[in-house]
Copies of this chain bind each other. A is one copy, B any other.
Amino acid sequence: MVVVPLGARQDRAAPPTLHPLQNLVADDLALVNETILRRLSSRVDLIPELAGHLIESGGKRIRPMLTLAAARMCGYQGEHHVLLATCVEFIHTATLLHDDVVDGSQLRRGNATANAIWGNQPSVLVGDFLFSRSFQLMLEAESMKILAILADASAVIAEGEVLQLLTSNNTGTTEDAYLDVVLSKTAALFAAAARIGAVLAERPQAEEDGLQSYGRNLGVAFQLVDDVLDFTARESNLGKTIGDDFRDGKITLPVVLAFRRGNDTERAFWRRSLVDGDQRDGDLEHARDLLERHGTLADTLARARHYGAIARDALAIFPPGPEKAALLSVIDFCIERGH
């Protein structure tokens, strides 16, 4: 049972948006966007051009906004949150560039991917540049603890991506094993982004842990909803091709559940289409039918709500206020979003 705070319930009729968070951190986010542009600069023009193509393509900036709002909620008065939010966005962008190469994706956020435009080679190398640049920026915040948090998160993300590659064509993947991938590849950066706010403000360990737990569970919820949207979203909303995960043979939670609940014929279908990579006309539609029949899209959303509830409780130790309300509203957005 998710307890929805009064503030959120009032606008329950309209779908939740990121506006509360965006409004709260608008000034800081403008500084982050400036910093992104300034710190992307390189004597090699292709670097800001290619990275800028992705960064300016209408990403939601959820991760850097978590850093900004968390720092503010914790009473941080300095300037380093802008720098670190930029780092978080650079790390995220680097992983997206490499993900799109690894998956051979052609479309992201409604635009051609960098690898589709410039090829795989510069996408790999510009991703490397962004990783290195993010570490250069972090150093300016002069906090060994924050450096460790972000370096650890980067290593865990890479580990999670390799793990996903290994499990991606395995229909025997359990929900636990899939959750393990999600915790690494997605939740680790959400968790680090939020936690940094408390570290910057030098708050007690309990607040650091609370924000870490909030980010981690929010990240899981975000990814599970992403998995559902890959099957259900309208392409114009999603900004990427519907069924990308299916075509890549990715075993996401809706499929994990449908495979386990299915009969022999259905399992043969999942094996042929996802493991053998033998995909035929109508397969995506058939896959969607199976997910609907077994209710696994709805159940994946139910799981997402569960992690959302944990994220909500993780913030319970913080006193009420506009920052906390905005961070709570992000949970609702992540779960009910259509893109």
Which residues on A are within 8 Å of B, measured CB to CB?
42-44, 46-47, 94-95, 98, 101-102, 120-122, 124-129, 131-133, 135-136, 139, 142, 144, 147-148, 151-152, 154-155, 157-159, 161-163, 165-166
Contacts and interface: CB of A to CB of B under 8 A. Distances in A.
Nearest to A133: B155
A44 B159 contact: yes
A29 B97 CA distance: 35
A125 B46 contact: no
Contacts of A124: 98, 101-102, 124
Contacts of A42: 159
11 contacts: A44-B159, A101-B124, A102-B121, A125-B158, A125-B165, A127-B128, A128-B161, A131-B158, A133-B155, A136-B151, A142-B144
A124 to B, nearest CB: 5
Contact of A46 (B44, B126, B133, B166): B166
Contact of A147 (B47, B125, B147, B161): B147
A133 B159 CA distance: 10
Contacts of A133: 155
Given A136-B148, A148-B136, A165-B121, A126 B158 contact: yes
A46 B168 CA distance: 14
Among A102, A125, A147, A151, max chain B CB count under 10 A is at A125
Contacts of A142: 144
Nearest to A140: B148
A19 to B, nearest CB: 34
Contacts of A121: 102, 165
Among A43, A124, A142, max chain B CB count under 10 A is at A124
Contacts of A98: 124-125, 128
Contact of A148 (B102, B139, B152, B159): B139
A279 to B, nearest CB: 19
Kindly list the 4 A-B residue pairs having the minimum CB-CB distance in the complex, ordered from nearest: A129-B158, A132-B154, A132-B155, A128-B158
Nearest to A101: B124
Contacts of A43: 159
A164 to B, nearest CB: 9
Nearest to A185: B125
Contacts of A135: 135, 147, 151, 154
B162 A47 contact: yes
B139 A147 contact: yes
Contacts of A46: 162, 166
A44 B164 CA distance: 10
Given A42-B159, A121-B165, A139 B144 contact: yes
B129 A155 contact: yes
